[in-house]
Amino acid sequence: MNKQSGIHYLREHREAGSSNPVPAQVVRIRDTVVAGLGDLLQGAFDAVDDSLFELANNARSNNEQNRYFEAMREIRIKRKGVERHFQNAVAQLFANPPRSGSVAADESLASQTNSDSLSLVGDDDLEEQVALNAMITKSKAHFQGPLLQLQTRFSVVYPGASEDVPVNPMAPEHLCSAFVEAIQALEIQIRERLILLKQFDRYVVSNLGMLLDEANRILIQAGVIPNFRYHGKAGKQQDSSAPGTTSGEATGGESAPAASGQQGHHEGAMFEQIRQMLAHQRANSGIPPRASDPNVHVIGGAELASLLGSLPQQPPGEQVSGNLSAGEPVMVDLYQVVQQLLSRAENTSDGKKPALNEMDEDLINLVSMLFEFILDDYNLSAPVQVLISRLQIPILKVVIKDKTFFSKATHPARRLLNSLARAGIGWSESDEKARDKLYEQIHAVVARILNEFDGDVTLFETLCDEFEQFLARENRKSSLVEQRTRESERGRIKSQKAQETVDELLQKKLARYKLQEPVRNILLNGWSRVMFLAYLRDDVEHRWPQTVRVVDDLIWCLHPHQDDEERDQWVRVVPGLLKSLRAGLEEVSYNSSKLDEMMSDLKHELTEAFRANALAEAMEDSPPEEPEDEDELPISHQTAIQRQQELEEAAIAEFVAQIDAIEIGNWVEFNLVNGASFRCKLSAIIEEADCFVFVNRMGLKVIEKSRTDLAHEMRRGRLTVLEQGALIDRALDAVVGTLRSKAG
């Protein structure tokens, strides 16, 4: 390939970047991404090997076949070096990330470079460049949201980067550039290079989503713009925690032009939208503003916060000692609690009746609606739901004192509630709470808030940091266990699939012919082991078709032949067949003392078959023909079965699509026939066996099911996909929906 093709401006751009040390938050991402891309690239190379082998088998000439075999040999020899080069180049992207003026300018530059370069390169380079451009364009469109979020976060983490000069080491164009550099060492022609790029696109680029999500998750855990949202091409990325947000946002009166005028602050805009709808409801009800009533003393701000300070963390009658998750979650009438406080303060200095100002009343109503959603949220596990319900009054105190709870995604109390809910999503009713560290930690956090919160919001910040550190440690442990579980299941399922395939193939072939016991024994108890290992290693060694051919050749040789040409072929085939059988059985360490005896018996059977009367043996071997009238019944029966199967497939088609939408890492809940339920996380999808593997919070396997089985479970209402979004964000969305429906 021409070294000056369009993609290479990216490499030059990267090499010109800074050599600053990799930020601490990025080291973990780099290691995860390099390892993940390495695994994906192995799959791509295995697929390339398969493609070239198939092309060689179907080649129309010896020259064409030799070309594909030479390409296979070249790639196999240099594969490890290419993989290392690619991983090193990706690691270098994190050390010296390419920089650009802006996203639009970068895309314009790429477009200009591509158009210029395409007019200068040769036909082969043009084909390769077109394939690369298509790959990059498709992936940038498909992963637009995660890429933009990651670019924004990386631009905060890397020194010298900014919104005007963003960086993203994981951008598809940079990864493709790294791969193109790595395969420069391969001396192969354009057709083979295009096959290589196609499989790189299929196995690596198309699977970038999980690595992008993991990188975003790591940066969110590190507190880098934890609530960034992307609303598609028509909208604009939103970030409620971007630099420049004022802590006093949305603390004014009824109208809040400052808050609504802040572009890019989605949560602040949502909070203002809720307050405006509540104000609209008040106006429609005909209630006059309290500030205009001369007989009313409006209480708000510091005065209301001081009154709430005397309020117990839990209302009388709801005090719970010891186990805070005992009993059912109870909804507190916060408005009534505050009204009781005001009634005690009726003897004001001016003799006026105390009342809340409209904004504080809106906040109280909003907290009530928030907890109403939380206590109805099916995605929250019951123990965590009960614990969070204990925090209604503490959260009310927080909101009255610091009104940015709803408008600022990074508010400590809001972050803590989201973390508690996210950590508890995997809880099941059957979990043993007494010995579970996660439950103990959540319980301790809630207890400390109830016992220690005195109005200082920094307590929530301290508890949130401690809890997220605890979660990070627990997640590291469970991730290791889950990885071992995933690898073990992949190996087990692949072995099971191999054994089933071998058994089915041998039984099918042996059922067609009457073979002597020594022959059946050598195939079922000896050669089946060779086939089993060949199936497992077929992606690397490609010996599976050869082992099947040995079975076919053996059965053919045991079948008598009268034709002179066939008997000549028999003489040519048998020596190689016996050699292959012995070599394969010795490779699987078959009992050496029995091997000689088995091979001797087999030679005897082959000799007898050669001498036997061909016609008699052929008649004996041939299965009897079924009468025509009996043959019609199975066909009719099969048609009915097929019709029933088609109806069943049509009924679950909608649910199969929903199953395919479940992503690795998503939590689900299974409801058993006996009424019990349990929650688990999708850990792996093993496509070759159509198997979905689910694990619990500890990373241990819970259940495995096929795609069809899961669709049936969902159709029966016994499988529910749990929502993964932040608790408060989902609650605010639900509140907006409720208010809009009330407004008609």
Q: Is the pLDDT of residue 261 over 80?
A: no
φ, ψ of residue 363 in degrees (nearest 5): -65, -40
**pLDDT tens column, 124-153:** 677 788 888 888 988 888 888 889 888 888
Predicted confidence at residue 328, as pLDDT, reads 66
Structure tokens at 313: 């963390």
The whole-number average pLDDT for the span 98-105 is: 51
φ, ψ of residue 178 in degrees (nearest 5): -60, -40
Q: If you average pLDDT over each of 158-167, 303-312, 367-376, 619-628, which comes out highest?
A: 367-376
Q: Is the pLDDT of residue 487 over 80?
A: yes
The percentage of the chain sitting over the pLDDT mark of 90, rounded to a whole number, equals 11
Using CA atoms, how far residue 9 sits from 16, 94, 139, 140, in Å, is: 11, 18, 19, 18
**pLDDT tens column, 537-565:** 887 888 899 999 988 888 888 877 777 78
For tokens 């004192």, the residue is: 401
Residues ≥6 apart with Cβ < 8 Å to 95: 19, 21, 22
Predicted confidence at residue 682, as pLDDT, reads 92
CB 678 within 8 A of CB 702: yes
The whole-number average pLDDT for the span 252-262 is: 35
Q: Which SS3 state, helix, strand or coil, does residue 158 take?
A: coil
The whole-number average pLDDT for the span 491-496 is: 84
Predicted confidence at residue 75, as pLDDT, reads 93
Q: Is the pLDDT of residue 157 over 80?
A: yes
CA angle 710, 476, 43 (to 5 degrees): 60
Name the helix (H) or strand (E) containing 259: helix 257-260
Give the least confident one: 52-66, 546-560, 590-604, 703-717.
590-604
State the pLDDT confidence band at 675, using cuts at 50, 70 and 90: confident
State the pLDDT confidence band at 625, using cuts at 50, 70 and 90: very low
CA 447 – CA 598 distance, rounded (Å): 74
Q: Is the pLDDT of residue 175 over 90?
A: yes
Bridge-based pairing of strands 667-671 and 719-721 is antiparallel
Predicted confidence at residue 91, as pLDDT, reads 92
Predicted confidence at residue 233, as pLDDT, reads 41
Give 288: exposed, middle or buried? Use CB within 10 Å, 0-12, 13-18, 19+: exposed
Pick the more confident residue, 49 or 562.
49
Please list the residues that pair with 353 across neighbouring strands. 296
Using CA atoms, how far residue 212 sits from 137, 162, 225, 687, in Å, is: 16, 20, 15, 22
Predicted confidence at residue 86, as pLDDT, reads 94
Structure tokens at 9: 């401006």
Pick the more confident residue, 495 or 352.
495
Pick the more confident residue, 530 or 13.
530
Predicted confidence at residue 174, as pLDDT, reads 93
CA 598 – CA 523 distance, rounded (Å): 11
Pick the more confident residue, 327 or 742.
742
The CATH fold of domain 637-722: SH3 type barrels. (2.30.30)
CB 698 within 8 A of CB 683: no
φ, ψ of residue 692 in degrees (nearest 5): -105, 125
**pLDDT tens column, 212-240:** 988 888 888 888 887 665 544 433 344 44
Predicted confidence at residue 104, as pLDDT, reads 39
Pick the more confident residue, 349 or 45.
45
DSSP per residue, 547-561? HHHHHHHHHHHHS--
Predicted confidence at residue 24, as pLDDT, reads 74
CB 395 within 8 A of CB 706: no
For tokens 């069943």, the residue is: 648
